[in-house]
Structure 1
Amino acid sequence: MFFGGGFPSRNPVYSSHPYTYHQRPDRRENQGDGGLGLFVQLMPILILIIVSALSQMMVSSPPYSLSQRPSVGHIHRRLTEHLKVPYFVSDTFGEEFTGSSLKTVERNVEDDYVANLRNNCWKEKQQKESLLYRARYFGDTSLYHKAQRMGTPSCSRLSETMKYLENFR
């Protein structure tokens, strides 16, 4: 229906009188060439495809990664100046980023690192609380002690990092 305005059919259309019917005129006979009509109908789809392609070309990947990613070219390991967070960059990173642009990138790396620590800390706390809940619900003391011993290393690193940042910034 979208492309042709309806399904082509030559089915008769019956009127109110039981023995008479009228043949429905075929739309294709009335449209003539249809090339411009087809183009106008396809225009919204073409616009969506073009806008999507342009937006994909305009989005650039970040110049760094917190993990080594050879598929993107982030293979060279570096450390941020303040927090000593390891990150990976491409071959041309040193030429493209110097001075204030390098400081901006390193600040972004550290912000991403802290965001990852927060996320991982939340997950670790959720796992620990879930284990504690199950231990209490089932009355399992060994599971309870396991949950009590369970560490939250991301939370510890986050706490240390935040203390450092408070003193530094």
Structure 2
Amino acid sequence: MGGGPGIRVHQFGGGRPRRRPREANARTEPTPSLWATFQQLLPLILLFVLPWISSKFSGPSTPAGPSYRFDAAVPPHTMHRTTPKLNVDYYVNPGDVEDYSSRKFRQLDQRVEVDYVTKLRYECEAEQHRRDRMLQDAQGWFFPDVDKIKEARAMELKSCRRLDSLKGRY
């Protein structure tokens, strides 16, 4: 019944690895030179120093152009502008754009339109998520709440509607 003729013993992780005793004639390794130590540390130095140096020479991380707002004229954003393609109203600081040429204003208008559409997409997603959440909450554990379902389905998705009205123009 079982067993076998002998017992096997395995040792995992215990004890130190055994080394051969040093011979009397054996040479000891010379201590590494400063150059050898530097060569071994060079990959680590490059790993930490190069990104730091490149960040110092990359310049400031300010946006490329003046700041603007879409909702209302709030100082210092008091200069009203409208983009030519999508008719987006926005406000800029007049001091930031006083030396702008018509070419720079066109570039600013394009950037504003791209940012506006991106903002609308994000807000539309948030509105749809909110509506879906309301529908899920209205389902309930035992029976659906019909009034809440109607309210969720009737919810106005302003950003989605505005985004749909701009389709094909951007």
TM-score by length of 1: 0.63
The answer as to whether partners of 2:66 and 2:93 remain within 8 angstroms in 1 is yes
Aligned match of 1:135 in 120, 134, 138?
138
Listed one character per residue, the Cα deviations across residues 48-105 of structure 1 (whole Å, up to 9, x for unaligned) are 21123323x165413133439xxxxx9333322431421334623221x211221121
Within-5 A mapping of 1:33-72: 37=39, 40=42, 42-55=45-58, 57=59, 59-67=61-69
The answer as to whether partners of 2:68 and 2:91 remain within 8 angstroms in 1 is yes
Closer/same/farther in 2, CA of residues 39 and 15 from structure 1, 3 Å limit:
closer
Listed one character per residue, the Cα deviations across residues 110-139 of structure 1 (whole Å, up to 9, x for unaligned) are 121122112211221121122123323541
Aligned match of 2:109 in 103, 106, 110?
106
Identity %: 19
Cα RMSD of the aligned pairs, angstroms, is: 3.7
The answer as to whether partners of 1:80 and 1:86 remain within 8 angstroms in 2 is yes
1:120 and 2:104 equivalent?
Answer: no
| Whole-Å separation in 1 of the counterparts to 2:64 and 2:35 | 50
Q: Which structure's residues are more often helix, by fraction?
A: 1
Q: Give 3-state SS (helix, strand or coil) of 1:64's partner.
A: coil
TM-score by length of 2: 0.63
5+ residue gaps in structure 1?
Answer: 1-12, 69-73
Partner of 1:151: 156
1:142 deviates by 2.7
5+ residue gaps in structure 2?
Answer: 1-16
1:75 and 2:79 equivalent?
Answer: no
Instruction: Please say which structure displays the higher CA radius of gyration.
Output: 2
Amino acid at match of 2:164: S
Listed one character per residue, the Cα deviations across residues 28-48 of structure 1 (whole Å, up to 9, x for unaligned) are x43247785587452442112
